[in-house]
Amino acid sequence: MLTVWAILIDGFIYASWLFLVAAGLTVIYGVMRILNMAHGSLYALGAYAAASALGWYYADGGDQLWMAFAIIAVCAVAIGAVTGLAIERGLLRIMYGRDEILMLIITFAVLLILEDVMKLIWGTTPYFAYQPYAAMGRINIDVLTVSRYDLMVLAVSIVIGVGLWFWLERTRIGKILRSIIHDREVSKAMGVNVGRMFTITFMIGATLGAIAGGITAPIISVVPGIGIEVIVLAFAVVVTGGLGSITGAAIGAIIVGLARATSIHTMPELELFIIYAVMAAVLVFRPHGLFGQAVARKI
Amino acid sequence: MKTIQQRNIWQKTLLSTATSVALASAGVMGLTATAHAQDSFKVGFVTFLSGGASGPFGVPASQGAKVVVDAINEGTLPAPYDSKGVNGLTLEMVEVDEAGGPTKQVEEYRNLVERQNVNAVIGYISSGDCLAVGPVAEEMKTFTIAFDCGTSRMFEELEDPKYVFRTGLDAVADNVGAARYLAETRPDAKRIAGIQQNYAWGQDSWQDFTLAMEQLMPEAEIVNNQTPQIFQGSYGTEISALQTRRPEIVHSSMWGGDMESFVAQANARGLLAQATALLTTGESGLHRFDGQAPNGTILGGRGPFGGFMPENDLSEWFSKAYEEEHGTPPSYPASKAAQAILALKYAADNSGADGVPSSEELAAALKGAKFESVSGTVNMGLAGGHQAVQPMLYGEYHFEDGQAELRNVKSYAGDCVSAPDGYNAQEWIKEGFPGSSCD
């Protein structure tokens, strides 16, 4: 019974982290039809910024938990929004209308460039910012312990998921974005400033990636390459759920999270295999993912 | 017509002048190159300068090597290495990033030898890179020292090596030593679990450890082993899975940032209060845990390196020089790199060569040699004189008043933790360590 509880708790905690990582990726694809490989770099930038700032804060004798969270939030939002704006205005803007594959290659190039930029700025030594994770303590369930920080990540993930749903479904700007998703050209003809909407969407997607990195920084050692590791997982989740679907990303993350937790608790050697086995199984029966929709191509 | 003749004369004059200048330049360059080759000994140094292994391993190794190279060139090393240079030649180090995998490393190795014209190569943290580069080094007949990689297959797959050496121990010694330390200090432990990175290093380490435990602590039960991806970073689910199995000991061969992340997370989650962690590469975190590992955590340093270095003139000099330059005591990768550079100096100084020693002369000097190092006297006594046999040490982490130290350190002689020449390591363990003397 303890193992079942452990699988459920671990599965949902991991799913919440996966959703955080994948949300920005799926928002950008949903609106802009860009498979943003640079999303991994935005995650890494958020993690580096938060880990550096937390390091300075604690080295200066800081010990307030709320300040640590404020630092993570400010750093992640600032670096995500600024980098997102720079990528969209400086590069993607001039490439709109090109083939999706070309956009994927361009964002992959951005990923590689940003990886080296991060090495130049932060070097190769791992950054640790474990203090908030340790300070929040844990809850004991028999021999099993659950980190309160992990539960906070779960809560943040739910807030972001609900916030995204509300933004897209219940706000004016959300309605405009949905009109762009349905038909970009007609929206333009109706007076929608598609370029500005794209900029806003990309900045929000990039900020979500950086928030995921910032919130993960106190859990992991922040090292070069974490962005590349995470983008592969994020793709597995959004492909399982259906590219461009927020609900799909959430359901995909829960399925992958629970399957992975079940594997680790029962057959640990299958941990990596199970994630991609789930993705493959879903795609066999639903080639566009659980919530993805087949779209006729214009030729 | 005259114009054409004049043009021809000009062309001939220009051509002959250009040829003369080119020949003269080539001559000067050749002379310069010859003079340069006579003055210096060029060594390629390959280590992780990027990626997850760079911070805790590659960069400290590079720093350790540079500290020794500088001292060699200045002639400031303690005896017996107090002569300037290697065989009187300035030691020049060409660094290469080990990131990119074995195929890339084979290309890099060929570049070092064929384009950079290095006289020797020292390097390799990854076992995969050692296995790939070893046969190429033999094919290219270039003196090569593997300073850190731990695969026991290295000299099993290299039959009759001539140019390849390893100046550190293999992973079998790490894990036999770990099992011996448990048997000596925690003989009543009954429930053993593990967490290893899911690739050759982690799998081999766990196999060697569990085989040794069957021999040394047959009453102990292996209750679980987790195999996360390398560089995964977050181990929440694995920690839960370990907790539900209620282990007393958690063995891990994880290294670098992965190992440090696991320790920080497992400590925060309380796993390390429920079980004692045994970290075969934990010494690299000795001065980085900053109290995040509980006191009593068992650390290994892959031999007498880093915090396990014995007290001698070389280790005291190295610790002081490294700390002065980098502000922290040397971890085990730094001291292993230093040891490889000292091995090169020993081989060059004892090669009997006039000028730059050849790979054959270097190999002949190091084969089966005993040389002084930061880790004590190194005996190249395995793999036909190509592999070092050294003691394996384990100790417990203690952190007080902002200072970390090792306590309850136990040392196991080289032949107590390493299979004799000609033995398959796993067979040697299964047969109950024949020929070992652990007194």
Encode pLDDT of A227-272 as tens digits.
Answer: 888 898 898 899 998 888 899 999 999 999 999 999 999 999 888 8
Separation CA B117–CA B43 (nearest Å): 9
Which of the residue ranges A217-226, B169-178, B296-305, B406-415 would you say has the lowest mean pLDDT? A217-226
The count of domains in chain B is 2
Give the mean model confidence (pLDDT) for residues B346-358: 95
More confidently predicted of B370 and B154: B370
Q: Could you tell me whether strands B376-382 and B370-373 are parallel, antiparallel, or unpaired per DSSP bridges?
A: antiparallel
Q: Which domain holds residue B148?
A: 39-170+309-389
Separation CA B290–CA B305 (nearest Å): 20
Q: How confident is the model at residue A299 (pLDDT cuts 50, 70, 90)?
A: low
Q: Do B281 and B401 have their domain in common?
A: yes
CB A78 within 8 A of CB A48: no
Residue B146 lies in a domain: yes
Q: Do B163 and B292 have their domain in common?
A: no
Give the mean model confidence (pLDDT) for residues B192-206: 92
Whether pLDDT at A221 is above 90:
no
Q: Do B141 and B44 have their domain in common?
A: yes
Separation CA A128–CA A147 (nearest Å): 17
Residue B181 lies in a domain: yes
Which chain B residues have a beta carbon less than 8 Å from that of A6?
240-241, 243-244
Condensed to tens digits (0 to 9), the pLDDT of residues A41-75 reads 999 999 999 999 999 999 999 889 999 999 999 99
Write the DSSP symbol of residue B357.
P
Percentage of chain A lying above the pLDDT 90 cut: 65
Residue identified by tokens 């993805």 is A292
Write the DSSP symbol of residue B228.
P
Rounded to a whole number of angstroms, the distance from the CA of A173 to the nearest CA of chain B is 36
Separation CA B97–CA B59 (nearest Å): 10
Q: Do B277 and B327 have their domain in common?
A: no
Q: Which residues pair with B166 in a beta bridge?
A: B146, B387
Q: Do B234 and A219 touch (CB under 8 A)?
A: yes
Per-residue tokens: A76: 């992640």
Q: How confident is the model at residue B31 (pLDDT cuts 50, 70, 90)?
A: very low
Which of the residue ranges B27-36, B71-80, B137-146, B199-208 would you say has the lowest mean pLDDT? B27-36
Whether pLDDT at B328 is above 60:
yes
Q: Do A260 and B226 touch (CB under 8 A)?
A: no
- pLDDT, position A297: 56
Q: Which residues pair with A144 in a beta bridge?
A: A141
Grouping H, G, I as helix, E, B as strand and the rest as coil, residue B422 is coil
Cα dihedral across residues B198, B204, B205, B206: positive or negative: positive
- pLDDT, position B23: 45
Whether pLDDT at B36 is above 80:
no
Using a CB–CB cutoff of 8 Å, tell me whether A150 touches chain B.
yes
Q: Do B204 and B280 have their domain in common?
A: yes
Kindly report whether the peptide bond that precedes residue B80 is cis, defined as omega within 30 degrees of 0.
yes
Q: Do B176 and B165 have their domain in common?
A: no
Q: Do B216 and B257 have their domain in common?
A: yes
Q: Do B298 and B191 have their domain in common?
A: yes
Give the mean model confidence (pLDDT) for residues A191-200: 92
Separation CA B340–CA B168 (nearest Å): 8
How many inter-chain contacts (A to B, CB under 8 Å) are there?
131
Q: Do B140 and B201 have their domain in common?
A: no
Q: Can you give the CATH number for the domain in which B195 is found? A: 3.40.50.2300
Using a CB–CB cutoff of 8 Å, tell me whether A144 touches chain B.
yes
Q: Give the start-to-end residue ranges of the domains of chain A.
A: 28-231
Nearest to A209 by CA among A106, A110, A102, A284: A110
Give the mean model confidence (pLDDT) for residues B223-232: 91
Q: Do B295 and B321 have their domain in common?
A: no
Percentage of chain B lying above the pLDDT 90 cut: 74
Q: Do B271 and A216 touch (CB under 8 A)?
A: no
Q: Do B240 and B374 have their domain in common?
A: no
Rounded to a whole number of angstroms, the distance from the CA of A3 to the nearest CA of chain B is 7
Nearest CB to B55: which of A6, A11, A126?
A: A126
* Predicted structure pTM score: 0.84
Q: Do B293 and B395 have their domain in common?
A: yes
Condensed to tens digits (0 to 9), the pLDDT of residues A132-141 reads 999 999 999 8
Calculate the average pLDDT of chain B: 90
